[in-house]
Chains A and B, each alone.
Chain A
């Protein structure tokens, strides 16, 4: 059973500067949501605040009637690539296996079935032949696919991806977006921090548009229009030029 996720009045500040101001929205299951906004709009911060990874000044997140803390095992998070130490002594298949840790639980080891499941997730992203490579030996797109495989291994219902499409090759991009679409079809809720406006209509069915404050949230056709975009980016937008056929 996948419940709707509701964000109410989230505010975050760093050293007295408000970077996210009173943001609220709600999404039903089966949603692939782009979190959009200009640089410094607080996209990643909003995502981290939703997950309780940074201190909120105010606000709450509910999944159904539960708090995020009660739902942690159903949440998969993929960090920005720049936040990972790619020289860490870990190979691809063990990286994916980390995704099974939440459900394996403390004081227990992953079993054979967990390892097989991790390999299966690795196959889904087309990276099985790299299973024994150290993660730093991969290209950016391949690294991102491995981290998506790790998220899949978590068997979560709610996915949070921070800039997964930055600096990756076309093949990886296609594989990733197809998997995200499959997840949506399976009823999951997926949030993706994103900043490349050209593909917004093609990728997402729903959007959260912020520039510190919430500009608009909802279906793409409602949110992705010139008035909103002008407000968010503080400049004129000719969205016709950005239209991508579905």
Chain B
């Protein structure tokens, strides 16, 4: 309760709160498409690969947004180029490209700024969110949500049956790269809150939790957004009260929700299905 009072009082906490919720929502939403398209590794890759862009932006004194988007998109294209033009498999080309970008990013950042900055970017520090960061997150969030709502139909059909989508004339490759672009935007928006290394937990885990709970994509997207936002708030809470880095706390919160769904989901839950089989066996035996 003290937390709510502080939330009313401190404007830095309000900014952190709004940013966290928005980041949780958009990570959950985009995460659904990443999970269903089997691109979880790609999410990890792009989030790591924005690092050199952030560093270059610092050096040039421009907003880190521009550099991060640039290297994020560059990564998506490099991975596509390697796996399409050689015998290297997709997961290997992801590994090759993102480790290179990440390594370059760490070197550039240690050259450009102090080690504290690096820790913040890697692990997130939601309490240091400035007004400009909050606005950037809100703008990116609005763009992402509007695009997903407008093109939900196309995202659904191309994620489910890409060949059918292409057969009736959808530009499936363009859809793929648009999702990569949105993913980059979401990653940039998440830098302050979860940090580069753990963005993937907010992308993959809430979406996977939602995946265990529903048979409809629209419901999955809404649930994932909710779980993402909830995890972010938990992260903020612990970060504020116990001075913990927000990224790891958020990651563990998403994991806790996942474990609950994994064990107790009405249809897929491990414990629930066990109980159901046992009672059925009992009924047959009697």
Is A72 engaged at the interface, CB distance under 8 Å to the other chain? Answer: yes
Are A90 and B216 neighbours in the complex by a CB distance under 8 Å?
yes
Could you tell me how many residues of chain A have their Cβ less than 8 Å away from some Cβ of chain B? 32
Could you tell me how many residues of chain B have their Cβ less than 8 Å away from some Cβ of chain A? 23
Contacts of B219 in A (CB 8 A): 89
- Interface hit among B13-21, B43-51, B159-167: B159-167
As a 0/1 sequence over residues 193 to 231 of chain A, the CB contacts with chain B under 8 angstroms (1 = contact) are 000000000000000000000000000000000000000
Is A191 engaged at the interface, CB distance under 8 Å to the other chain? Answer: no
Are A77 and B167 neighbours in the complex by a CB distance under 8 Å?
yes
Give the residues from 37 to 85 in chain B that come closer than 8 angstroms, CB to CB, to chain A.
none
Number of A-B residue pairs having CB atoms within 8 Å of each other in the complex: 72
- Interface hit among B2-10, B149-157, B184-192, B256-264: B149-157
- Interface hit among A21-29, A34-42, A100-108, A178-186: A100-108
As a 0/1 sequence over residues 215 to 231 of chain B, the CB contacts with chain A under 8 angstroms (1 = contact) are 11101100000000000
Main secondary structure, interface of B, reads: helix
Are B167 and A88 neighbours in the complex by a CB distance under 8 Å?
no
Are A85 and B160 neighbours in the complex by a CB distance under 8 Å?
yes
Contact partner of A75 (CB less than 8 A), chosen from B151, B167, B211, B220, is B167
Contact partner of B157 (CB less than 8 A), chosen from A53, A91, A98, is A98
List 11 additional contacts besides A90-B160, A91-B216, A98-B161; criterion CB under 8 Å. A53-B163, A75-B167, A79-B161, A79-B163, A85-B160, A89-B219, A89-B220, A91-B215, A95-B160, A98-B157, A102-B169
A-B contact pairs, 23 of them (CB 8 A): A48-B163, A51-B167, A53-B163, A53-B167, A72-B168, A73-B168, A73-B169, A75-B167, A76-B167, A88-B36, A89-B211, A89-B216, A89-B217, A90-B156, A90-B160, A98-B156, A98-B157, A98-B164, A101-B154, A104-B153, A107-B151, A109-B153, A154-B168
